[in-house]
Amino acid sequence: MGKVTLHDVAKAAGVSIATASWAINDNKNVRIPENTRRKVRKVADRLGYHSNAFARSLARGRSDLIGFVSDGVATSPFAGQVIQGAQDEAWRNGKILLVVDTDGNKTIERKAFAFMLEHQVEGLIYSSWVHRAITPPVELDRTASVLVNCFDEFGRFPAVVPNEVQGGRAATELLIRAGHRRIAFVNEPTISPASVGRLEGYRLALSAGGIEYQPTMVIDATADQEGGYGAVDAVLATGATAVFCHNDRTAMGLYDALRERGLRVPDDLSVVGFDNQEVISAHLHPALTTVGLPQYDLGVLGVRSLLALNESVHGDGDAADGVAVAGGDKGVEGIGDEPRHYDPLLVACPAVMRDSIRARGVTATRVVSLG
């Protein structure tokens, strides 16, 4: 016997081809007696009929596909966890994640969006490997879309981003709780969300700890190993007993320079990093206490936000529970001619305790994880 067709199923079930199609594809917009629906499906199973998945998705009004386009997440050394989180959450909700990493190539990006939209994805997630403001691709206007690890300055799309301020504060508080009062901060002198947010968190922690903020304790350096290496003399000149580094690569360079000067971490200087790049932080000697970027959670919450967005628009019963779409309840188009504004969803950055902090003084409290 050749390939079983829809015509064969309809004939064997004693119904029209249209009725057979509606029953097999579970078209909720057409009323079919339940006994007829069961009969058609039983015949289809007996004959070994397999419907076209794409046609079935059109009939049901959803594809169960989510598009994920990034500019370098999959190829960055540690941000692939964003994709893992998104994939796991999509699967938990019965969805399949289609992933394309463009590595910043706009031609690939356009082709990826075209392919995904042609295949009726239920929404798009656009992710950047570095937390930054972006100009959203025009394709995001054509379907429900969420930004992950990036945001548009006008708040036109829901965005899920790390809470840089909270992370900077958590890093500094680790040192304050260990009894340190002179805490330097090696920071990248840019207006990036990471640099600005972590500096604000540093200042908030000092204020809460009763420590006066001194601009001279903030050392400008590039956010890499060379920057940390070159900043060591300026850090030591401040008389700091501890230092918070913009990221783990900066801390690695600082470690190298301290070692060359015969100084030891944490005996001579306590150090805290940021990002939790485990290929670095877990393998330094001593292992680096740091604050992690919530990569996995960004992916999970990106998918949840997209499902919640679809729920707010279509009342899709498959949407994830417990996630509100930022920006109130005006609806996607807002009120009247006013476009909707979304406030970014801020995801906490957890402290990762290792061995690079030494408690100082009799008033030092036990250092505990904030995450």
Structure confidence by residue, pLDDT tens digits, 107-135: 999 999 999 999 999 999 999 989 999 99
The residue type found at 158 is: P
Give the chain's mean pLDDT.
Answer: 87
Express each pLDDT in 185-244 by its tens digit.
Answer: 999 999 999 999 999 999 999 999 999 999 999 999 999 999 999 999 999 999 999 999
Express each pLDDT in 291-344 by its tens digit.
Answer: 999 999 999 999 999 999 998 876 644 444 444 444 333 334 443 445 788 999
91 and 11 in a common domain: no
CATH of residue 47's domain is 1.10.260.40
In a domain, 333, yes or no: no
Task: Please state, in angstroms and rounded to a whole number, the distance separating the CA atoms of residues 304 and 308.
Answer: 6
174 and 156 in a common domain: no
Residue scoring higher pLDDT (53 or 128): 128
Express each pLDDT in 7-39 by its tens digit.
Answer: 888 999 999 888 888 788 776 667 788 899 899
In a domain, 133, yes or no: yes
140 and 126 in a common domain: yes
User: Measuring CA to CA, which residue among 107, 97, 92 is closest to residue 67?
Assistant: 97
Backbone phi, psi, residue 101, to 5°: -100, 115
In a domain, 332, yes or no: no
Domain count along the chain: 3
80 and 107 in a common domain: yes
Mean predicted confidence (pLDDT) in 356-368: 65
Task: Please state, in angstroms and rounded to a whole number, the distance separating the CA atoms of residues 238 and 185.
Answer: 11
pLDDT at 173 > cutoff 70: yes
In a domain, 336, yes or no: no
Residue 123 CB coordination number (10 Å): 22
In a domain, 362, yes or no: no
In a domain, 116, yes or no: yes
User: What is the percent of the chain where pLDDT is above 90?
Assistant: 68
Domain boundary residue, one of 19, 35, 60:
60
User: Measuring CA to CA, which residue among 80, 208, 70 is closest to residue 147?
Assistant: 70
Q: Which domain holds residue 42?
A: 6-60
CATH of residue 142's domain is 3.40.50.2300
